[in-house]
Amino acid sequence: MSPSTELVTTILSFGTLLLGVALVVFIAAFVMVRAYGDQMRDSLIDRIILFVGNHALMLALMLALVGVGGTLYYSEIAGFEPCKLCWLQRIFFYPQLFIFAIALLRKTRDAFAYALPLSVAGLLVAVYHYALQRGMTSPFPCSADVALSCSKQLFLKFEYITEVMMSVTAFAALIVLALAYSYAQKRNVPSA
């Protein structure tokens, strides 16, 4: 791996680590707010969830930009050829960049209705792919070419972050942003 690719990988891995920690904390906070309902209304945790939800489209667009840019860097500049499961994840991820960009430009509210099914499908493929990387055997061959094997890890950072874990984390973050967006939309509607 070249020094520039090593640097990009370290930066993206550190970002993935931070995003993963933020997801765990955010999900725990979201569960707590949902479980305690009115008792948590207007608490700091509730305000943070509302802030994230109110800015979810911009956050999703930024995540999509980094994800698309990262995958293109790895395949087009670093020379890492994507396997079949990598391509499937790209198919579910790339359109979201355009969905969120158009939603922000047109100020529409239904972007996550289109993006959520893509994120869920992409997450399922990514989790399966990560399981293959971590040693699970599959009855379905990914590729006859060993160099393009779906179980091959291009790198391993922090003892768990591979290029596929970056994908798992990105899809999970988009799903959580959709939940936060939905929560904020319901809370921002004036009661009758």
- DSSP lists the bridge partners of residue 161 as 157
Report the C-alpha gap between 6 and 8 in whole angstroms: 6
Residues of the chain whose pLDDT is less than 70?
A: 139-148, 189-192
- How far is the C-alpha of 93 from the C-alpha of 69, rounded, in Å? 11
| 35-89: pLDDT as tens digits | 887 788 788 888 999 999 999 999 999 999 999 999 999 999 999 999 999 999 9
Q: Is the pTM of this model over 0.85?
A: yes
- Quickly list DSSP for 159-184: TTB-HHHHHHHHHHHHHHHHHHHHHH
Give the residue carrying structure tokens 């990262």: 70
Domain that holds residue 102: 3-188
* Number of domains present in the structure of the chain: 1
How many residues comprise the chain? 192
The token pair at 41 is 């209304």
